[in-house]
Amino acid sequence: MRALQTESLLQKIIGILFNRWYEIFIFIYGGWVFAPFLAPLLMKLGWSEAGKFVYWVFSFFCHQLPQRSFFLFGEKPMYSLVEIQSAWHNTFDPSLLRQFIGNSQMGWKVAWSDRMVSFYTSIWFFAILWYPLRRILKPVPWWIFFLLFIPLGIDGTTHLLSDFAGIGNGFRDSNEWLANLTNYSFPLSFYSGDALGSFNSLMRLTSGILAGFAVVWLLFPTIFLFRINLNQLNNLNHD
């Protein structure tokens, strides 16, 4: 009897997960995505221990380099490496740089880097936009899915290779190759560094959004169609 009750309870749980997968995703994944924004809010409110706890938790999932992160409640939404070094330590050591969370004047950094923000939050927002269109959108072909992921792969890989030369010293820090390619048509601030509006910043944001769009366009219609087909099969079996 107890085994039957356990089996029945398990079937109910599976049924809820199957039928309410979208709502569960929006709620749980949304909490995961937006929790890092609580860190600067908690710091601003003076609840520093709670804020530092949020930074600590998400430090296992993100490098949290301050020059590649958004700041809230301060003078600017992002700061250059030089500005971070002036406010923190004059260091290029990423393990030390990532420890800088901000201050009352500069504001407090979000516990996600800008790339994480663009990729993870875009998945959540595109999922919201997908729902009203769920009955007409088909899964994206695999080749388009991979095509949309290519910018993220190239940008992430080149950043990683560039950082081997040391933070602030790599080819993605100066982007001299891009300056020569475009004949220095843009301001120096566009080519160098990671501040908002720079080439590096725009690439991280754009590539993250494209990849997030690809994830939703492939997975959500696929899950939705699978659920419809399975329900139809169950109805035929019951008939």
Convert the pLDDT of each residue in 36-82 to its tens digit.
Answer: 999 999 999 999 999 999 999 999 999 999 999 999 999 999 999 99
Q: Is the pLDDT of residue 18 over 70?
A: no
Here the contacts of 131-139 (C-beta below 8 Å, separation 24 or greater) are 131/22, 134/220, 134/221, 134/224, 137/217, 137/221, 138/221, 138/225, 139/217, 139/218, 139/221, 139/222, 139/225
Q: What is the number of other CB atoms lying within 10 angstroms of the CB of residue 146?
A: 13
Decide: 71 and 77 in contact? Cβ < 8 Å.
Answer: yes
Total length of the chain:
239
Residue range 114-134, pLDDT digits in tens: 999 999 999 999 999 999 999
| Domain spans in the chain, listed from the N-terminal domain onward | 2-238
Q: Supply the pTM of this predicted model.
A: 0.88
Q: CA-to-CA distance for 7 and 10, rounded, in angstroms?
A: 5
Q: CA-to-CA distance for 149 and 210, rounded, in angstroms?
A: 7
Three-state secondary-structure class, residue 97: helix
